[in-house]
Amino acid sequence: MAKQEQVSLTGNEAVAYAFKQARPHVASAFPITPQTEMMHKFADFVANGEVDTEMILVESEHSAMSAAVGAAAAGARVITATSSAGFALMWEIVYVAASLRLPICMALVNRALSGNINIHCDHSDAMGGRDAGWIHLFCESAQEAYDNALMAFRIGEHPDVRLPVMINYDGFIISHTADSLRMLSADDAWKFVGPYKAAYSVLDTENPITVGPLDLTDYYFEHKVGEIEAHKRAFDVVRAVSAQYGALSGRGYDFFESYRLDDAEIAIVLMGSTAGTAKDVVDAHREKGVKAGLLKLRLFRPFPAAELAKALAGKKAVGVMDRAASFGAWGGPLFTEVRSALYGADRQPPVLNWIYGLGGRDCDLRQIDSVLERLADAARGKSGETVNLLGVRL
Amino acid sequence: MTLKRAHELPAGGIIVEAGNADAYNTGDWRTFKPEFVAENCIHCMFCWIYCPDTAVNIDTTAEKSRMIGFDYDHCKGCGICAQHCPPAAKGKAAIVMVRDEK
């Protein structure tokens, strides 16, 4: 295992260090809270000559992603970052990046979408882009944000995958909170990430290519098959890269983390920083003799439906906590995915949903406690609402 | 033209073969088509220069290049060639736009 330094950094700083260690050729970005500090830190590294990156300061997020796509099509390793409304403005080109199979790495520092305008955390930005073709990793802490940011390059750039990767971490809760984490040395990180060799480059005049041509009824659908298949192949790559990173760092990762889940009768499923709070509540219930557990999803796209169904098979009740609303839908986006994955699966448990934490509303111990109490009731056969709101004044 | 299957295509929908538009028939969108009136042509090559596609056929074997007609597999009937044909200004058009009856 590699020797590592114990450091105190915010999530934004941690990701900036990971990006520096991956030595990207190009970074394009436009500031938006709470992402700004990450690119600010990275720009410091560039200005100080600590990393040889072409820093492109653009006039909008639409331009940031456009510049990223152009640079990646030229064969560069490219990073960018955004949040909330910035991600919404990039949206058109977010799809293009995945369609062109360009492994851009982006920090999406999760923040609520307008309106009304709000700068705090929820996952509505990420959920708006869940069908765009990117790989989505979610993080519980600054440590996980750092680790996932390093692994993102290896996953996205793998020849079997070649897809852009989003590193999602909660605005302010992770991005601006100083956390203690272990960081690889620059040499070890570089040995792990390694150089990037693009399959094609628009600047290779010996082998001219056309990128993004008109693609109508005769070929568009076949090209989408490429994206669908790449996501299927990404599972093996995520697992292999995570195993290699685990051996290097001592921190193992998989599609999700199972916390006291194996023998659990009731279980919570969620993503992001709330997992830390949920683990404490699970522990408290365990001390009372309640067999509670947690499934913290790390890989949201591609969605590991089969593994998730296996991990939750036979539970007496499962509660999915969504930090985003999907207006007019029956439940939040994570709930519909989880319930769909479990439908028809072996020993299918009942699945309930809580939508929580919108606009940065704190999710405290009592809220998660109430979820576990309700799940215990459901496990005993007591009926109630399937889709619920948590921590809001009704 | 036989259409390729999904797994035969390069990733990302890019085109790796230069100049393959030649094999792709885009001339079937036309409403009007240019007709070549050879006896009025002064072989100035304006139509060849202005054509947004490569739909003007020319003979380059002679000492001076000669306009010989249109590539109707790629001509989209925009009519720019007819607009720029100098003999047309003198009432003796070498390119005339006519409705394309298919």
In the CATH scheme, what is the code of domain A256-390?
3.40.50.920
Q: Which one of A158, A202, A209, A215 would you mutate to disrupt binding with B, by most B Cβ within 10 Å of its Cβ?
A: A209
Q: Which residues of B touch A213 (CB under 8 A)?
A: 13, 15
pLDDT attached to residue A386: 98
Q: Does the bond joining A302 to the residue before it have cis omega, within 30 degrees of 0? A: yes
Residues forming beta bridges with residue A186, ordered by sequence position: none
With a cut of 80, say whether residue B1 has pLDDT above it: no
Contact assignment for B14 to A218 by CB distance below 8 Å:
no
pLDDT attached to residue B22: 84
Please tell me the pTM assigned to this model.
Answer: 0.92
Rounded alpha-carbon distances, angstroms, from residue A355 to A333, A373, A390: 10, 16, 6
CA A289 to chain centroid: 33
How far is residue A387's CA from residue A354's CA, in Å, rounded to a whole number?
Answer: 6
How far is residue A264's CA from residue B12's CA, in Å, rounded to a whole number?
Answer: 43
Please report the beta strands in chain A, taking only residues with DSSP state E, as ranges in sequence order.
Answer: 4-9, 26-29, 54-57, 78-82, 105-110, 135-138, 165-170, 179-184, 256-259, 266-270, 292-297, 299-301, 317-322, 351-356, 387-390
With a cut of 80, say whether residue B34 has pLDDT above it: yes
Which of B3, B7, B14 is closest, CB to CB, to A218? B3
pLDDT attached to residue A285: 98
Contact assignment for B12 to A230 by CB distance below 8 Å:
no
**Residues of each domain in chain A carrying CATH 3.40.50.970:** 4-249
How far is residue A367's CA from residue A66's CA, in Å, rounded to a whole number?
Answer: 41
- φ, ψ for residue A291, nearest 5 deg: -85, 80
- pLDDT band per the 50, 70, 90 thresholds, residue B102: low
Q: Token digits for A133?
A: 């073709």
What are the residues of chain A with a beta carbon less than 8 Å away from any beta carbon of chain B?
99-102, 162, 199-200, 207-213, 215, 218-220, 222-223, 225-226, 229-230
CATH 3.30.70.20 applies to domain B29-99: yes
Distance from CA of A200 to the nearest CA of B (A): 9
Question: What averages of pLDDT result for each successive group of 10 residues across chain A (394 residues)?
Answer: 96 98 98 98 98 98 98 98 98 98 98 97 98 98 98 98 98 98 98 96 95 94 98 98 98 98 98 98 98 98 98 98 97 98 93 98 98 98 96 98
Domain coordinates in residue numbering, chain B: 29-99
Query: What residue of A is the nearest CA neighbor of B9?
Result: A223
Contact assignment for B12 to A102 by CB distance below 8 Å:
yes
Rounded alpha-carbon distances, angstroms, from residue B68 to A315, B49, B61: 79, 14, 12
Q: Is A267 helix (H, G, I), strand (E, B) or coil?
A: strand
Q: Does the bond joining A24 to the residue before it have cis omega, within 30 degrees of 0? A: no
Contact assignment for A99 to B14 by CB distance below 8 Å:
no
Q: Which residues of A touch B11 (CB under 8 A)?
A: 101, 162, 199, 226, 230
With a cut of 90, say whether residue B60 has pLDDT above it: yes
Contact at 8 Å (CB) between B92 and B40?
yes
Rounded alpha-carbon distances, angstroms, from residue A255 to A127, A129, A157, A232, A343: 18, 19, 18, 13, 20
CA B87 to chain centroid: 19
A4-249 CATH, one of 3.40.1160.10, 3.30.43.10, 3.40.920.10, 3.40.50.970 = 3.40.50.970
Residue of A177, A175, A164 lying closest to A72 (CA atoms):
A164
Q: Is A317 helix (H, G, I), strand (E, B) or coil?
A: strand
Residue with tokens 């989003």: A166
With a cut of 90, say whether residue B28 has pLDDT above it: no
With a cut of 90, say whether residue B26 has pLDDT above it: no
Residue of A262, A243, A244 lying closest to A254 (CA atoms):
A243
Q: Is the ipTM of this complex over 0.90?
A: no
CA A67 to chain centroid: 22
Contact assignment for A101 to B12 by CB distance below 8 Å:
yes
Q: Is A296 helix (H, G, I), strand (E, B) or coil?
A: strand
